[in-house]
Amino acid sequence: MLIIGGGTTNLELVSLMPPDLGVTVFTYSLPIAMRLSEHPKIDVILFGGKLMKRAQVTIGLDMIQYISKIRADACFLGSSGLDIDAGLMEIDWEVSQLKRAIVGVSDKVVIMSTSEKIDTKQRFLVCPLEKINTLVTEVDPESSLLAAYRKRGLQVL
């Protein structure tokens, strides 16, 4: 079972999923749920809550309670900011709480981040760097920009 967050980077991820992949995916993103609905073997469960119209994601405290009752093999989350000292950060408080709950129930945490969000701090902490297993970005994994993240134990792809 997977949990996939919102955002354009995760939308690209689900576009690359093979059509014969059989998996259950939880998401709070309307565009991701719609894209995954095209896959006949993927069961899609959309977390309900208040719709953030601009971002096309659902949020809310009820979702956090629901999430606390599930267990995911892995989560794939976007990033508003990733800082070597602070960890994964978000602009919005409610989104940070939602992502914190998701990280807490996931065996593996994969962060999907574009380069402009790396080494960037935001207002709200989601989780420390130690909770993150893998960072996926368009930057060459051997780049000096990512050296400190590799040194801290993150797999960088």
What are the pLDDT tens digits along the chain (157 aa)?
999 999 999 999 999 999 889 999 999 999 999 999 999 999 999 998 899 899 899 998 899 999 999 999 999 999 999 999 999 999 999 999 999 999 999 999 999 999 999 999 999 999 999 999 999 999 999 999 999 999 999 999 9
With 0.85 as the threshold, say if the pTM is over it. yes
Whole-number Å distance between alpha carbons of 39 and 14: 10
Element (H, E) at 150: helix 147-151
Pair 96, 88: CB distance under 8 Å = no
List the domains of the chain with CATH numbers.
2-156 (3.40.50.10470)
